[in-house]
Amino acid sequence: MDICVMTLGCKVNKYESDAIVYNLKLSGHNVFDTLSKADLYIINTCAVTSEAEKKSRQMIARCKKFNPNARVMVCGCASQHNPQSFKEKGVQFVGGVAKKMKIANNILSKAKKPAPVPLRYEDTMIAQASRTRAYIKIQDGCNNFCSYCLIPYLRGRSRSRGIVSIINEASQLPESIHEIVLTGINVTDYKIDGVPSLYKVIEELDKLGKRVRLSSLEESITNEDFVVGLSQLQNFCPHFHLSLQSGSDSVLKRMNRHYTSAEFESAVKLIRKYFPLASITTDVIVGFPGETDAEFEETKAFIEKVEFASLHIFQYSKREGTVASCMKDLAPEVKQKRFEVLNEMKKELNLKFIQKNKHGKVLVEEKQGEFYVGYTENYIKCYISSKVDLTNQIVDVKIKKPYMEGALCKIV
């Protein structure tokens, strides 16, 4: 059977989709993840914003254009949140965030109701890695309950994967994989027997000789022991994506974020004490309910002071069922203008960060036009001209000058 698996949303969804693809291939199906004609479409949906949920539903129609007679199955956060809206689209299977791997074993199923969210980590997935990099999921769920976010209600409470299972998956990766990215809904909350243990996982993976990179982190994890420990590892990539959301303390309080801007700044300073050239990136939400001009100016000033390497900017999206959904929303044009202001700041910050760096070790992932393209340990996208095939190699480079969203580099 020809099966197309489409993914919307975060790296956790991507990992889970890759696991579905791998499992279906083992069952003898022809499986792919680019939108084209298929007998069956599996859509792994996202609900982080209302726009993401809308795109998840629209994907059904896009699939049907390739084959009107194809069966469609959905899973993920959007179908967990609002299964009825997917039933109305005529899909044959409506799953949620749980038991995604059962799709591979029940492709003829006509279930219309998502399974209950599990109380313990569902350790049923192993994804097939790409040519250069492997994502490994170590955690699911979230206990933070930020006032704007639906994810804790959809993914459930935080639960961690067993460390033995994580190391086993990593140990079985082919030699061609040079980098491991740890992912989860809130990897900061990774625990072993109820004790925070993210460093322990990184330390064990470091022994495998592959680069280790983290996905998004919370400010709370950046204590001296954690950062010093990371600085002593051989293969850790100094890229810290610390979720900020706002530089205004009053907005952070309304968001139910459990830190102040001063505490966040202290975390950044601690990282830079041991990793002077670390890439520190962040998420920012503009137009949160009640955000005044003065509060937005506080966020701008804070971003300038911290000098992030890059920003992921989102316009606030109202999600029914959250605390913030009861707050008065701002006008769309206000959100758009603030988004554009920060987007210009993002370009300047990225440029400054690249100019601070002179050398790096690049994991080359692919060839794009005349250049080989990959990322340094601190996540600078590098464009390298070479007559020799560099794909899937780690090379030392001199960073010459900014180019597009990254830098032109020369092999040392």
- 392 vs 89, 182, 254, 316, CA distance in Å? 42, 20, 45, 38
User: What is the mean predicted confidence (pLDDT) over 13-29?
Assistant: 90
**What is the third-level CATH fold of 359-411?**
OB fold (Dihydrolipoamide Acetyltransferase, E2P) (2.40.50)
Please check the confidence at residue 105 and state whether its pLDDT lies above 80.
no
Three-class secondary structure of residue 34 per DSSP: coil
Q: Average pLDDT, whole number, for the chain?
A: 94
pLDDT band (50, 70, 90) for residue 127: confident
**CA pair distance 311, 306, nearest whole angstrom:** 12
Please check the confidence at residue 43 and state whether its pLDDT lies above 90.
yes
Please check the confidence at residue 131 and state whether its pLDDT lies above 80.
no
Q: Say which residue the tokens 């022991």 belong to.
A: 225
CA triple 276-191-322, angle to 5 deg: 90
pLDDT digits (tens, 9 = 90+) for 214-229: 999 999 999 999 999 9
Confidence at residue 110, expressed as pLDDT on a 0 to 100 scale: 64
- 188 vs 15, 125, 141, 299, 328, CA distance in Å? 18, 21, 11, 24, 31
Confidence at residue 111, expressed as pLDDT on a 0 to 100 scale: 62
pLDDT band (50, 70, 90) for residue 238: very high
User: What is the mean predicted confidence (pLDDT) over 37-54?
Assistant: 95
pLDDT digits (tens, 9 = 90+) for 248-269: 999 999 999 999 999 999 999 9
> What is this structure's pTM?
0.91
Which strands make up the sheet holding 93-94, listed edge to edge? 30-32, 2-7, 40-45, 71-76, 93-94
CB atoms within 10 A of CB 175: 7
% of the chain exceeding 90 in pLDDT: 87
Domain boundaries, the chain: 2-105, 133-356, 359-411
Q: Which of 76-90, 99-113, 167-181, 199-213 has the lowest mean pLDDT?
A: 99-113
pLDDT band (50, 70, 90) for residue 103: confident
pLDDT band (50, 70, 90) for residue 395: very high
pLDDT band (50, 70, 90) for residue 116: confident
**CA pair distance 277, 256, nearest whole angstrom:** 31
User: What is the mean predicted confidence (pLDDT) over 302-326?
Assistant: 96
pLDDT digits (tens, 9 = 90+) for 282-291: 999 999 999 9
Backbone dihedral angles phi then psi of residue 385, each to the nearest 5 degrees: -90, 130
% of the chain exceeding 70 in pLDDT: 97
Confidence at residue 289, expressed as pLDDT on a 0 to 100 scale: 98
User: What is the mean predicted confidence (pLDDT) over 319-337?
Assistant: 96
pLDDT band (50, 70, 90) for residue 200: very high
User: What is the mean predicted confidence (pLDDT) over 299-323?
Assistant: 96
Confidence at residue 132, expressed as pLDDT on a 0 to 100 scale: 87
CATH superfamily of 133-356: tm_1862 like domain (3.80.30.20)
pLDDT digits (tens, 9 = 90+) for 361-382: 999 999 999 999 999 999 999 9
CATH of domain 2-105: 3.40.50.12160
